[in-house]
Amino acid sequence: MATKAKKTINKEVGLGRVYISASFNNTLVTVTNTQGETLAWGSSGASGFKGTRRATPFAATSAVEKVINKVKDVNGVNEVEIYVKGPGAGRDAALRAIKATGVKISLIADITPVPHNGPRPKKKRRV
């Protein structure tokens, strides 16, 4: 059975949304247009970092630079809204990397999900 061909969106987009998900092990970056269609994505692991090096701020920086440069060239994104989720080490580094690429930042929002008392959290580590 033939696999479905990957759809690429190459239309010019002025405003993009950058979603950064920073976990303790990896940093994921997705750039969408205002309708939510994915333009490009990347992660620390996809940028060539393996193991514990994926969780470093440098790995997050390289993942963000790769994705932002791609959408600037292909889709003409020059202004972004940034949505950050998670407690990872790459979240601040990712914001600094976006600022360094030269795109205009119109919004920074923290969308980290906060439980309204859900299940019991994991036990505290004793080292």
Tell me if residue 30 falls in helix, strand or coil: strand
How far from chain centre, in Å, is Cα 71? 13
What is the CATH code for 15-110?
Answer: 3.30.420.80
- Which residues, other chains included, contact 52 with Cβ-Cβ below 8 Å and sequence gap of 6+? none
Residues 62, 65, 68, 70, CA torsion sign: negative
**Percent above pLDDT 70 for the chain:** 94
Q: How far apart are CA 62 and CA 42, in angstroms?
A: 10
| Per-residue confidence (pLDDT) for residue 115, from 0 to 100 | 87
Higher pLDDT, 123 or 2: 123
Sequence spans of domains, the chain:
15-110
| Per-residue confidence (pLDDT) for residue 14, from 0 to 100 | 86
Reported as a single tens digit per residue, the pLDDT across 62-120 is 999 999 999 999 999 999 999 999 999 999 999 999 999 999 999 999 999 998 999 99
| Per-residue confidence (pLDDT) for residue 81, from 0 to 100 | 97
Cβ count within 10 A of residue 43: 20
Angle, to 10 degrees, between the axis of helix 90-101 and the axis of helix 57-74? 30
